């Protein structure tokens, strides 16, 4: 029996994935690294400092900055990102998400957040959805970032549920890997090829139908226990 829904934030509850992209792009322009949306795909779900490392590698500049300069660059990206998220309002909640949260509540399914973002709480507040969450895993307390399962396991622990009775929702390939490694049922939102390791993939949040999700989960649980 399903006990909890555990959500990623950026790109699942709201389209902040795009703001992260804009902020990295701007930083890239400053240090002479041009990124596009395709490269950005590989940054989804990845922590701030690891994203910077990947960008420097992508631009062949991994030996050009000291540790201190890297922290400064990551901070600069975050300052720009914080400016961008100031414009977030409840209108920015992706379609279908509120219905899903409501259905979960009505069916006594716990709701958790497993985001790599240290800006998760202000974003949830601006969206006006923080009240739905029974537990928000703290990314700054998480040792291994996605694709490691840690943040999803932290959320399950905080909700006091067994991972096997959880469904995780993700838009990033690294996030789907994290859910699978946590031994939860994974739902990918986005491109079928990118998210091919998810147990079930929908193109957009609009397709997140509560009854369909539960029946997919129940079916897979039955197959698993055979
Ligand atoms: C993830 C995003 O949710 O959070 C990544 O998908 C981002 O793109 C990561 O780098 C960390 O976010 P923040 O807000 O702590 O820099
Ligand atoms: Mg995401």
Element (H, E) at 117: none
Q: Tell me what pLDDT residue 224 has.
A: 63
Q: What single-letter DSSP state applies at residue 94?
A: P
Nearest-CA residue for atom 4 of ligand 1: 117
Same domain, 99 and 81: no
Q: Could you tell me if the CB of 145 is within 6 A of ligand 1? A: no
- Show which of 71, 87, 103 is a domain's final residue: 87
Show the DSSP H helices in 4-110 as ranges: 16-31, 37-41, 48-58, 67-85, 97-106
Q: Tens digit of pLDDT for each residue in 170-179?
A: 999 999 999 9
Tell me the average pLDDT of the chain: 96
What total of structural domains would you count in the chain? 2
- CATH number of the domain that residue 25 is part of: 1.10.150.240
- CATH number of the domain that residue 187 is part of: 3.40.50.1000
Q: Which domain holds residue 177?
A: 4-15+93-225
Q: Tens digit of pLDDT for each residue in 32-69?
A: 999 999 999 999 999 999 999 999 999 999 999 999 99
Other C-beta atoms lying within 10 Å of the C-beta of residue 189: 26
Same domain, 11 and 27: no
Same domain, 10 and 44: no
Which numbered atom of ligand 1 lies nearest the CA of 74? 16
User: To the nearest whole percent, how much of the chain has pLDDT over 90?
Assistant: 96
Q: Please tell me whether residue 187 adopts helix, strand or coil conformation.
A: strand
| Strands 166-170, 135-136: pairing kind | unpaired
- Show which of 65, 87, 109 is a domain's final residue: 87
Same domain, 49 and 105: no
Cα(172) to ligand 2 centroid in Å equals 5
Same domain, 99 and 152: yes
Q: What single-letter DSSP state applies at residue 184?
A: P
Q: Tell me what pLDDT residue 223 has.
A: 75
Which pTM was predicted?
A: 0.95
Q: Could you tell me if the CB of 46 is within 6 A of ligand 1? A: yes
Query: Alpha-carbon distance 171 to 189, whole Å?
Result: 5
Other C-beta atoms lying within 10 Å of the C-beta of residue 4: 24
Same domain, 9 and 22: no
The b-or-e profile of 108-137 (16+ CB within 10 A means b, else e) is: ebbbbbbbbbebbbebbebbebeebbbbbb
Q: Could you tell me if the CB of 119 is within 6 A of ligand 1? A: yes
Same domain, 100 and 209: yes
| 222 confidence band (pLDDT: 50, 70, 90) | confident
Same domain, 136 and 176: yes
| 225 confidence band (pLDDT: 50, 70, 90) | low
């Amino acid at each position: 029996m399903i006990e909890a829904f555990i959500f990623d934030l950026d790109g699942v509850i709201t389209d902040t994935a795009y703001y992260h992209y804009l902020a990295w792009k701007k930083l890239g322009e400053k240090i002479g690294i041009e990124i596009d949306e395709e490269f950005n795909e590989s940054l989804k779900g990845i922590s701030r400092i690891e994203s910077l490392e990947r960008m420097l590698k992508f631009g062949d500049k991994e030996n050009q900055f000291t540790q201190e300069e890297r922290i400064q660059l990551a901070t600069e990206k975050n300052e720009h990102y914080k400016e961008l998220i100031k414009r977030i309002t409840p209108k920015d909640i992706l379609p279908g998400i509120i219905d899903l949260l409501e259905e979960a509540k009505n069916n006594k399914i716990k709701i958790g957040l497993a985001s790599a973002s240290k800006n998760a709480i202000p974003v949830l507040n601006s969206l006006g959805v923080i009240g739905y969450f029974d537990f928000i895993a703290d990314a700054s307390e998480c040792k291994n970032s996605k694709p490691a399962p840690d943040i999803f396991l932290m959320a399950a622990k905080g909700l006091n549920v067994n991972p096997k009775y959880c469904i995780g929702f993700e838009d990033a390939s690294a996030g789907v890997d994290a859910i699978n490694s946590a031994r939860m049922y994974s739902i990918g939102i986005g491109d079928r090829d990118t998210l091919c390791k998810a147990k079930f993939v929908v193109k957009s949040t609009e397709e997140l139908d509560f009854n369909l999700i539960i029946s997919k989960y129940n079916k897979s649980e039955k197959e698993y226990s055979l």
